[in-house]
Structures are given as structure tokens and as C-alpha cells.
Structure 1
Amino acid sequence: MGLNAELIFSVQAESTTTPAVNGNYVAHINPADGGCLLEKYSDKYSDCDFGLLSNVYASEGKPGKVLEVNVKKRTGEDNFVSCMKKTLLEHYGDRSVGMGGTFILQEGKAKLHIMPPEFSACPLNNDEDVNRWLKFFEMRAPLICQSVFVSHDPGLDLRLEHTHCFSHHGEGGHYHTDTTPETVQYLGYFHPAEFVYRIDKPSVTHTVGRD
């Protein structure tokens, strides 16, 4: 694309019986007004390339049992994904459990960010620097969110939770939390991962910008 953006994955891989389907969305800053511009990735770009980093959950798409989570009214500080991640950590301890799936913010609003189109001209040395550089928005339901989270890092330098959202009303980006705890409602479907693959692990790492 030639600029920074938030990619929301929804891909069906090619098989012997079905063609590849690129259902990805991309959210980036609208140069006209500085707001959110959400587009179908396949409308302008024929491939599924991405840069920097990504957390992707892959499945065979077969029917089977899943974990349904249907909740409303947030009572604590943690967001929806963090609550599930902490529950797994408390139950399994050092045994790492990864989950992936889709949830819908059915009611309420959420805090999302979109990266600016250009990288920062100065170093981003801590989370405060990153948050000053990012563009934050309050976006409204319904938001369709693709999420991956891991209860415990088994030494692979993983991002423990990562969620990107799209909608059918032109809003999307990287999910942080809901902003309407009294009225928020979530419905999600998740499945545990059998394997985790760490691709291109950096030789030098950091903990900045991992929320």
C-alpha cells in the first residue's frame, strides 16, 4: 500500500476443491479528513502481503465444537480479550494455551487505533511515545473482531493478545477496550490452537507497544 495501516485478516486458502477467497479489510487514515478509511483489501490489492508483524489463527474450517462467550457490562479494568487470557493463565499456569476466533461488539463503543501513514520521525522509546504517535478513535457497534491470544509466552517472544476489527459502517482498526462498560455486549466464538509457529523471530526484542 505504501503506507502504514491496520489489516484485518479473513482469508480462505486455496484447496483442491475451492478457490482462494480474500475477505480482508484494511483500515488507514483518510488523508482528506484525518478520520478512519476502511476498505476491502481485495478491492485494490490482489495479494495478501503484509509488513511489520501479524498474529494469525489458521484452521481447516471444519465443523466442530467451539467455545462461545456471551457477556455484557464490563465491571473491571481489563478488556474482553485480556479477561479470557487471564482466565486461561490462572487455570493452566505455565502451560501455554493459545486461542483464536471472532467476536462481535454487539452493543456499545470501543477504543481503537490506526497507525499514522508515515513512521515516526523520532524514536518511540516507550509506550507513552507510541500512544502519542498512534491515532485513537472511538468506534461504534457492531464491530467484527478477529482475535488471537496466548495465556503464557513459552519463550517465543510472542505478542500475547492482538485484535483487529472491521465493520459494515466504515469503521475499523486495532482494538484496545470498550468505552461504554455499562452497556457493552460481546459475543465470541473461539477455538484452542494445536500448534504455534513463530516466524522470523527478531534477534533483538523489546516490550514497547504490546498492549
Structure 2
Amino acid sequence: MPVVQTESEHNPPVNRSYFARISPDDGGCLLEKYSEKYHGFGCALLANLFASEGQPGKVIEVKAKRRTGQLNFVTCMRQALENHYENKPVGMGGTFLVQKGKVKAHIMPAEFSSCPLDSDEQVNKWLHFYEMKAPLVCLPVFVSRDPGLDLRLEHTHFFSHHGEGGHYHCDITPDTVEYIGYFSPAQLLYRIDQPKETHSFGRD
């Protein structure tokens, strides 16, 4: 869960990132501060990142509670952008808080799979799924549509101050869930190391 302030003329770098791993003792979630074990910031598999200058400015505030449909919070916002802007891709980043309720989440095993994962079913068998409770601080990046760069259209990781964190899928308490979020539109989109061969599974 990357939360990084890069070095500037007047400020040193600050790494307030977290990472979640599976406890070898009971199979539960272990949430740790990234900077406790790592001095820099690395990415082993993939990352969707939103970067800003951190200056004051206008943001979009979104409040929602009591989910009535099947889509999660991020997908609803992404599809609203797609419906409005149609063929024009619009990217957003920011943060939202799950104020009440529980979510479905996953954590990847420490070891990558020893064999290729060729379907959603195989990916889901490899991942470890959990129910995690609010309050949760979520870090979403989403793009309304793919402009031909083989993008993961939405990706949200989260951390908390009660030891839970991971990859957000959806809430599982539609009658009681509450969200509040703050988002900014992206001005530039960078795609790094686009694969030559691709697939559509494992992108939930």
C-alpha cells in the first residue's frame, strides 16, 4: 500500500507505506509498515500508482452508503466516468475510507505460484481471501476505459490501524456500509513494461 513522499528541495523523502502478508502461524493477516524492513520502495509484480505534487487544490468528494447494486464502490465511479466521457479515457486517483461495514479482500502468498495460472479459478485458489472490517484507508487508481495500453482498469489496496490490509474487492455488508472519498483527475498516464502477451483473468 504505497504512501510515499519523494525527496524535494526542502523536504527529505518519507515512506509511510504498508504491506500485508499471510501469517505463517495462523494464516491470518499481518500488516506491517514498509519502512520498518525496507529503506526504498520496490514492486515485485505490478502496481497502479497515482502521483501528485501534493499541493492544495480542488478535489472531488464522494459519499456513499447502503449499496443497492452488485458493483463495488470503485467500479461504480469508473463506470460513471465511462458513461459520461465515452471513448475518452479519464484516470482518477486519491483515497477513500470505508467508515462502516466489512469488505472482501485478498493477500497474495509470499511465494509466487510454481506453475502458470491460466484462469480466474486458478488465481482465486492461489490467493488467500479474508473478511476485513472498517475503518479501512483505501488507495484506489482507476481509468474509465483502456486506450489500448492493456491497463488494469481499477486497482485498490488498503491498510488500517487495527492490523488489517490487502486488496479491496467489494463490501460484503451492503445495508450498513459507508464510504467517503477524495479524488483528483490525472493529467498524464504512463504505462511501464507493457507485456507483449496478455490475458483478462485475475483482474478483479
Please tell me the TM-score bracket, short chain as reference: over 0.9
The residue type paired with residue 180 of structure 2 is: L
Secondary structure, aligned partner of 1:209: coil
Which deviates more, 42-51 or 84-93? 42-51
Match of 2:56 among 51, 59, 63: 63
**Residues of 2 paired with 1:149 and 1:69: CA distance?**
15
Secondary structure, aligned partner of 1:106: strand
1:145-194 deviations in Å (ceiling 9; x for gaps): 00000001001110000000000000000000001000000000000000
**Residues of 1 paired with 2:63 and 2:11: CA distance?**
32
**Residues of 2 paired with 1:117 and 1:25: CA distance?**
15
1:4-55 deviations in Å (ceiling 9; x for gaps): xxxx010001000111000000001011111100000001111101111100
User: Is 1:35 paired with 2:28?
Assistant: yes
Tell me which residue corresponds to 1:87.
80
**Residues of 2 paired with 1:200 and 1:122: CA distance?**
22
The residue type paired with residue 95 of structure 1 is: K
Which deviates more, 199-208 or 143-152? 199-208
**Residues of 1 paired with 2:196 and 2:113: CA distance?**
22
Tell me which residue corresponds to 1:172.
165
The residue type paired with residue 122 of structure 2 is: D
How many pairs are equivalent?
A: 204
Tell me which residue corresponds to 1:137.
130
For the aligned residue pairs, the C-alpha RMSD in angstroms reads 0.7
Tell me which residue corresponds to 1:128.
121
Structure 1 residue runs of 4+, over 3 Å off? none
**Residues of 2 paired with 1:153 and 1:53: CA distance?**
17
Unmatched 5+ residue regions in structure 2? none
User: Is 1:200 paired with 2:193?
Assistant: yes
